[in-house]
Amino acid sequence: MSNNKITSHGQLPFFILTFILTFVMAPPHHVGSESRLASPSDQPYRTSFHFQVPKNWMNDPNGPMYYNGVYHFFYQHNPSGPLFHPRMYWGHSVSRDLINWTPLDPAFAPTEPFDINGCWSGSATILPGNKPVMLYTGLDTENCQVQNLAVPKDLSDPHLREWVKHTGNPIINVPDGIKHDDFRDPSTAWHADDGKWRIIVGSRREGTGMAFLYRSEDFVNWSMWESPLYEVAGSGIWECPDFFPVCVDSNNGVDTSVMNSRVKHVLKMAAFDCGRDYYLIGNYNPENEHFVPQSELTLGSLRYDYGKFYASKSFFDPVKNRRILMGWVNESDSDEDAHAKGWSGLQSFPRSIWLDQNQKQLVQWPIEEFKMLHENEVSFKNKSLEAGSLHEILGITASQADVNVSFKLTNLEEAEELDLSGIDPQVFCSEMDASKKGKFGPFGILALASHDLSEQTAISFRVYKNNGRYTVLMCSDQSRSSTRNGLDKTTYGAFVDIDPQQDEISLRTLIDHSIVESFGGGGKTCITARVYPTLAIGDEAHLFAFNYGTESVLISELSAWSVKKAHINIEETNGGAY
């Protein structure tokens, strides 16, 4: 038993139970938590602060933007059922704080010859004079993927409810030599000193994935540039490409058209064949349209998120000078489950995104507005987690929570020697599941755990050393997330580029009933998982900090909060939260 002093800064009494584990994870003695949640039995997997629709299917985020005091979010939506159908609509919601969202009627429906078979993904651009325009992919009468333009019908409507499709659509047709259904998802436009607008569109030629570049002076007449902005043999089709500048010396975001020596550029592609959002950081020259990334695109390249997260989109928020990212988080259950739930698909919690100080990767962090949903903070400092220990964190609603914890490792020289170069961290995490003891690790948290631990999602770290250098691995182990079968319980893993000799190992995890969204190393490595517990639901969910390694680790600080339910896409008679 540990006897370290624990301080509580919370308003509610806060207890920690310590258990020593011997061979198996013994079920903890259960101390009842206060009941604060309504019975979730009818819809245990609906979330409380993640963007989702009341019913039916949602996938890619579309055209996020800020306009005249209002954030707009659009999304791929099948209003007729909970499964994907190509005849997509653009769902539309608005918000003043990116937390609470008011639903509006779909912005686009498939009604015209140039989009009659579906209104697919696209992006917003704010033109000079504060005029939003939207580019999106239409599936035309022949199911060709063509690019279309639309503008708000009435700029004085604060909600921009109605959109007018340009009569000259499509404005861009499938390029010669490209298959009719391999050409989609126009990006936000940027312009350079020559006054020309540029966009990229995802495509492929044979197995070579690419982003075609188009230029225009008037946003209507677009000419394809002589070569793609970037292409990579063997990468398959790219969807939802995003291209934006990031500051080299600040965490602030900048508008998509900013170009100077203080920015680098990020090219993001959603690699359809593996369902992953990869990105490259590099230098962009608009004169010759050369984008030169710092590294090549490979299967091991940088990703926004190493779990379930795809087809994301970013936008510049001029209110707080930041770039915000949201991505589609798919389900991990079956089509039958989708019918039973009546809905499919979440969006990640909005994340601020910026270039790391080392300029080698991006960093992401939940937007600061999240704190308006915090309540019942519990926290403590300087708490040793002995080998094999498990500590329940009480006083919060563990199924709807935000946890922020920092681990400090002392006697690091005791770390296990292991050369992880060339190792796929996800495969490693799958083989070394959270029950397998190491020296430093696994330590971390157990989210959405049942009281007997038969259900748990472990987000954990392991630390190894090799030739005097340390490697930090982060895993999200879903293998015991539910006692149900027929779910995708893939374990995810990734490296965290920090030096544990200098930096503490931090973990922030957003837990929301069926989603566990984790930010390791201060947001350098993100892993999002979908889980469907049957026992650890509502008030029956528990949260633990654990250390199954043979070396003790120190929790230098832990804070956790219950998270209030946000008003998301709920029609309200009083005008709503919005």
Ligand X SMILES: *[C@@H]1O[C@H](CO)[C@@H](O)[C@H](O)[C@H]1NC(C)=O
Pick the binder of ligand X from 43, 251, 301, 384 (CB under 6 A): 384
Amino acid at 529: A
Residue among 72 and 508 whose Cβ is closer to ligand X: 508
Min dist CB 163 to ligand X, Å, is 24
How many other C-beta atoms are found inside a 10 Å radius of the C-beta of residue 148? 25
Contact (Cβ atoms closer than 8 angstroms) between residue 538 and residue 37: yes
Find the shortest distance in angstroms from Cβ 550 to ligand X. 18
The rounded distance, in Å, linking the Cα atoms of 198 and 257 is 9
Rank residues 246 and 338 by Cβ distance to ligand X and give the closer one. Answer: 338
Q: Tell me whether residue 159 or residue 196 sits nearer to ligand X (CB atom).
A: 196
Nearest distance from residue 22's CB to ligand X, in Å?
Answer: 23
Q: Is 188 in the site for ligand X (CB under 6 A)?
A: no
Tell me how far, at minimum, the Cβ of 404 lies from ligand X, in Å. Answer: 4
Contact region with ligand X (CB under 6 A), list: 175-183, 184-192, 329-337, 445-453: 329-337
The residue from 96, 236, 557, 565 that contacts ligand X (CB under 6 A) is 557
Query: Catalytic residue numbers?
Result: 60
330 is a site residue for ligand X (CB under 6 A): yes
Residue 509: Cβ-neighbour burial (10 angstroms; 0-12, 13-18, 19+):
buried
Q: Is position 357 an interface residue for ligand X (rule: CB under 6 A)?
A: no
Of the pair 3, 260, the CB lying nearest ligand X is at 3
Q: Measured from the CB of residue 337, what is the shortest distance to ligand X in angstroms? A: 9
4 binds ligand X (CB under 6 A): yes
3-state secondary structure of 373: helix
Structure-block tokens of residue 100: 């609470």
The DSSP 8-state label assigned to residue 338 in this structure reads H
Both tokens assigned to 156: 């004085």
Among 7, 80, 288, 382, the residue binding ligand X under the rule CB under 6 A is 382
Of the candidates 190, 195, 197, the one whose C-alpha atom is nearest the C-alpha of residue 171 is: 197
- For ligand X, the binding residues in 274-313 under the rule CB under 6 A are 275
User: How far apart are alpha carbons 279 and 303 in whole angstroms?
Assistant: 6
Minimum Å gap between C-beta 419 and ligand X is 30
Residue 389 interacting with ligand X (CB under 6 A): no
User: Which residues ranging from 491 to 530 are in contact with ligand X (CB under 6 A)?
Assistant: 506
- Residue appearing with tokens 């020593």: 20
Asked whether position 547 contacts ligand X by CB under 6 A, the answer is no
Of the candidate residues 406, 476, 478, 514, the single one contacting ligand X (CB under 6 A): 406
State the number of binding residues for ligand X (CB under 6 A). Answer: 15
Number of neighbouring beta carbons within 10 Å of residue 86: 12
* Window 240 to 279, contacts with ligand X (CB under 6 A): 275
Q: How far apart are CA 200 and CA 6, in angstroms?
A: 54
CB of 146 to ligand X, least distance (A): 17
Residue 402 contacts by C-beta under 8 Å, 6 or more apart in sequence?
Answer: 366, 370, 374, 508, 509, 510, 511, 560, 561, 563
Q: Does 223 bind ligand X (CB under 6 A)?
A: yes
Q: Sign of torsion, CA 540 545 549 551?
A: negative
The nearer residue to ligand X, 126 or 172, going by C-beta atoms, is: 172
Neighbours of 41 (CB within 10 A): 8
Using the rule CB under 6 A, give the single segment among 130-138, 324-332, 355-363, 456-464 that binds ligand X: 324-332
Find the shortest distance in angstroms from Cβ 203 to ligand X.
18
Distance CA 362, CA 356 (A): 5
Could you tell me where the DSSP H helices lie in 342-455?
A: 425-431
Among 100, 117, 235, 332, binds ligand X (CB under 6 A): 332
Using CB under 6 A as the binding rule, whether residue 348 contacts ligand X is answered as: no
Helix (H, G, I), strand (E, B) or coil at 369: helix
Running DSSP on this structure, what letter comes out for residue 59? E
| Amino acid at residue number 120 | W
Note whether 286 and 194 are within 8 A (CB): yes
Alpha-carbon gap, residue 320 to 40, rounded angstroms:
36
Pairing assessment for the beta strands 183-184 and 163-165 based on DSSP bridges: unpaired
337 or 416: whose CB is closer to ligand X?
A: 337
Segment contacting ligand X (CB under 6 A): 243-251, 258-266, 325-333, 475-483? 325-333
Question: In the bound complex, what is the minimum distance in angstroms from residue 111's beta carbon to ligand X?
Answer: 26
**Cα 36 → chain centroid:** 28
What's the N-to-C CA distance of the chain in angstroms? 49
Task: Between 102 and 348, name the residue whose CB sits nearer to ligand X.
Answer: 348
Stretch that binds ligand X, among 262-270, 326-334, 439-447, 536-544 (CB under 6 A): 326-334
Q: Is 404 in the site for ligand X (CB under 6 A)?
A: yes
Q: Would you tell me which residues interact with ligand X (CB under 6 A)?
A: 4, 221, 223, 275, 330-332, 382, 384, 404, 406, 488, 506, 557, 559
